[in-house]
Structure 1
Amino acid sequence: MLRKFKIHTVIMLSILLANAQKGSAQIKPSGVADTSFSVLGSYRNESRHFPDIRIASPAMPASINASRNVPYRQSKSGRNLLLDIYQRKQRLPKPAPAILMVHGGGWRSGDRTHNTTLAQRLAEKGLITITADYSLSTEDLFPASVFDLKAAIRWIRAHAGDFNIDTSRIAILGFSAGGELAAFTGATNGSKKFEGSGEYLKHSSGVQAVIDIDGILAFIHPESGEGDDSKSISAATYWFGYPKSERPDLWIDGSPITHVSKQSPPYLFINSSVSRMHAGREDFIKKLNGFNIYSEVKTFPDAPHTFMFFDPWFEPTLQTIDNFLNQVFPAKTTR
């Protein structure tokens, strides 16, 4: 499959470059917030097909403390980008692993509160969980969101002492577009090109594990359905600022699979039955295998794309993440 992907990429790139429109105009950020994606909206949509699903309980466990609305940087538009941090009220005897959590929404919608329920439950298990804002395509284009997330990781390391964080065990988790961003952030460990500028540059932005929940791994790939602008402008076209027919080089550079290296960390892929949402996964894993990098796959048959928000899939998703982190962070604090 990897060889097939390489051949397909070369052919597609040749065709797209041949058809590219010279001097095409970039799609500029609108500056208008997009609120189209929400957990409640997803529930209303999916419950028509899965009438027995329920939104996982958002109640915060009594054992957990929250530090909310913590600013870590400003977006290009001047918006304060915020973090919410969850951890046990009773301080653990040793520094604990941390997870930066990245929301979905097509790189242009959604917000950090979508990950609150999962963050609180993972914090119950002895992890420090951090949900993050980042620049959406209504504010700025790729790679601004990557720069933000790298800055958030540096912020975590700079403030590790305040939250009892073990800086040698930092993971990043994302769903959908957030899964793609998490995968990209891990794949580009050590890459100066995607470091960005600004805050806490003396600290590393490297992560030691990635959890990608239904996030695409290759935009120009036989399995990818992203970039069809025939009916309306696609989410990725808004994010890159150009259709892939005009800037295939940008779409390839924005694909996590392009950047896998020996510095990439272990990966956990948790997927729905919607195959286009994890396009390129098997080829990505083959590249990881080439560097002897550990990976796992958990697939929920017949599950919708937004499965992680709903019972009956929420609890097994939670347990899969915890099991994976116990595997790759073997010194994880006993709960």
Structure 2
Amino acid sequence: MKKIINPGNQRKSLTLIDNIVYSNQKDLNGNSMDLKMSILLQNGNSEMKLAAGEDDPKENHELKPALLWIPGGGWRGVDKNLMLGEMSQFADAGYVVASMYYRSSAEAHFPAQIIDVKTAIRFLRANASKYEIDPNRIGVFGRSAGGHLAAFAAMNTDTFESEEWSGWSSKANVCCNMFGPTDVVALMNEEEKSFNNPSSRWHRIEDTHGGKLIGGDPSTIKERAKSASPVNYVNPDMCPMLILHGDNDPLVPLELSSDILYSRIKEAGMEEKADYYILKGAGHGSREFFQDEIKQLMISFFDQYLK
């Protein structure tokens, strides 16, 4: 069978640039670590450029808004590219999507993780022209532990800054927090109730996800975890935030996290800065969060503030 078809050329090609070093840090043992990110963007047909020397059609490489994806994994560390397959819709919508690795709780204790996120934002601004990014339009989004860190970055405080890429702002313009544990203390208190249950996952506060994140003396972990909870940093400089949480989340119940965060935002008189959606029947990162309807909801929210 031989046919002539005309598919058109409206959809732009996507390019993935992997293993970009954005920071050099130390782990708990003092060993040097290169922290890396990947960047997914529409910047022409890369393989065609290598073969033919130019795009067809030639691309107009305008600066684009950027979104920094912060992975989850209980702060214990995950591959920065694990969820990258779900990011193509955002890149197709005209966003540069950067997906980062940050130090795990086995490599460093809080506040290392939010320091890494803020460093990554500053890196994107410092290298904006290289990756076709508009440095004035950068958002953050993440799931679970990444949602916690995205919400933290959204508070736009001047705390937890490193010297790397100094001179560039770490401020976020918009945020999407997907079921992040934004009150670490409330979650610890709930987990503590089941320590005496033989079938419980945790039996000591220091073994929980939050306990590993905070580290140090178990007797003061909960007190110190207050400084790791974004609910305690709500302030007028906070950027607009989209909150997504399932009403059937067994790991981070919404009443111990997103409900508290949204209430704090309302109490501060900033309800106009937050849109809170509860996904019916959704668990912790279940497939409901990655349906086209939800992705389009996120894109529409980002568009309000970045386009």
- The RMSD of aligned alpha carbons is 2.4
Give me the whole-angstrom Cα distance separating, in 1, the residues matched to 2:289 and 2:168. Answer: 40
Q: Which has the higher contact order (CA 8 A, sep 6+)?
A: 1
When normalised by structure 1's length, the TM-score is 0.73
When normalised by structure 2's length, the TM-score is 0.79
Out of 227, 242, 255, the residue aligned to residue 229 of structure 2 is 255
Q: Larger C-alpha radius of gyration, 1 or 2?
A: 2
- Offset at residue 75 of structure 1 (A): 3.0
SS at match of 2:150: helix
Corresponding position of 1:89: 43
Give me the whole-angstrom Cα distance separating, in 1, the residues matched to 2:217 and 2:211. Answer: 5
Give me the whole-angstrom Cα distance separating, in 2, the residues matched to 1:200 and 1:291. Answer: 34
* 1:314 maps to amino acid: Q
- Offset at residue 259 of structure 1 (A): 0.7
SS at match of 2:26: coil
CA contact (8 A) 1:227 1:243 kept: no
- Offset at residue 162 of structure 1 (A): 1.1
Give me the whole-angstrom Cα distance separating, in 1, the residues matched to 2:147 and 2:209. Answer: 14
- Offset at residue 240 of structure 1 (A): 0.2
Q: Cα deviation per residue 1:113-161 (whole Å; 9 max; x = unaligned)? A: 1230222221011001000010001111001111111110000000111
CA contact (8 A) 2:151 2:176 kept: yes
Gaps of 5+ in 1: 1-60
Corresponding position of 1:32: none
Instruction: Return closer, same or farther for 1:312/1:169 CA change in 2, 3 Å cut-off.
Output: closer
Q: Cα deviation per residue 1:197-238 (whole Å; 9 max; x = unaligned)? A: 231110000001111111011122389635668234101101
| Paired positions, count | 265
Alignment of 1:43-82 (within 5 A): 63-77=13-27, 78-82=32-36
Instruction: Return closer, same or farther for 1:205/1:252 CA change in 2, 3 Å cut-off.
Output: same
SS at match of 1:199: coil
Corresponding position of 1:152: 120
- Higher alpha-carbon deviation: 174-183 or 241-250: 241-250
* Identical pairs, percent: 25
SS at match of 1:184: helix
| 2:126 maps to 1:184 | no
SS at match of 1:211: strand
Alignment of 1:228-267 (within 5 A): 230=195, 231-232=202-203, 233-242=207-216, 245-267=219-241
* 2:231 maps to amino acid: I
* 1:254 maps to amino acid: A
